[in-house]
Amino acid sequence: MTEEWRASLVTDSGGPVNGTPYGDLLRNRLGPDIAVSAKRTHLYVYAASAKAAEEAGQVARAVLEEQGRLAVIRLERWDPANEQWRAPGDPAEDEDAPGPGRLRRGAKVVLQVAAEALIWA
């Protein structure tokens, strides 16, 4: 499974969620298509689509609430170019930054246009 989406749940100050039965409870409820991990007060559920991650996040929130824990959910997508998790609507940091590939392509286009202009002049 390509895990490109996740729901990140930040729990209240009731103690850490890693090393607790929450992961096992979630794996049993969500099934094999959803991966689960935890780090201190953060619980993560990973899925191949935004919809699946959002639904898994809601199930995870319900499981936490059943155990008397509150959580805030944030949907995130993996940005492989920058190797970090981002909110779905966030643009990549370097989308407008010129990189070597963009500069070469831009220079090539300028040279082609200039060459065509000389031919037609």
Listed as own residue / partner, the contacts of 24-29 with beta carbons closer than 8 Å and 24 or more positions apart are 25/63, 26/56, 26/59, 26/60, 26/63, 29/59, 29/63
Q: Is residue 67 part of a domain?
A: yes
Helix (H) or strand (E) holding 119: helix 100-120
Q: pLDDT at residue 107 above 90?
A: no
* Predicted pLDDT at 1: 44
**What's the N-to-C CA distance of the chain in angstroms?**
56
Q: Is-contact 8 74, C-beta < 8 A?
A: yes
85 is a domain residue: yes
Query: Which two three-digit tokens encode residue 101?
Result: 């590939």
Per-residue pLDDT reduced to its tens digit, 82-99:
899 999 888 765 555 555
Segment among 22-36, 58-72, 98-112 with least mean pLDDT: 98-112
| DSSP conformational letter for 90 | P
Read off the pLDDT band of 112 (50, 70, 90).
low
| Percent of the chain clearing pLDDT 70 (strictly above) | 71
Domain assignment of residue 110, yes or no: no
110 band by pLDDT with thresholds 50, 70 and 90: low
CB under 8 Å to 25, separation ≥6 — which residues?
Answer: 63
Residue 109 in any domain: the answer is no
* Residues of the domain holding 57: 5-90
Q: Are 41 and 86 in contact (CB under 8 A)?
A: no
In a domain, 100, yes or no: no
> Is residue 106 domain-resident?
no
Instruction: Find the CATH number of the domain harbouring 85.
Output: 3.30.70.270
Name the pairing type of β-strands 84-86 and 5-11.
unpaired
Domain count, the chain: 1
Q: What pLDDT does 45 receive?
A: 94
Let me know if residue 18 belongs to a domain.
yes
Residue 96 lies in a domain: no
pLDDT greater than 80 at residue 35: yes
Q: Which two tokens stand for residue 23?
A: 């992961």
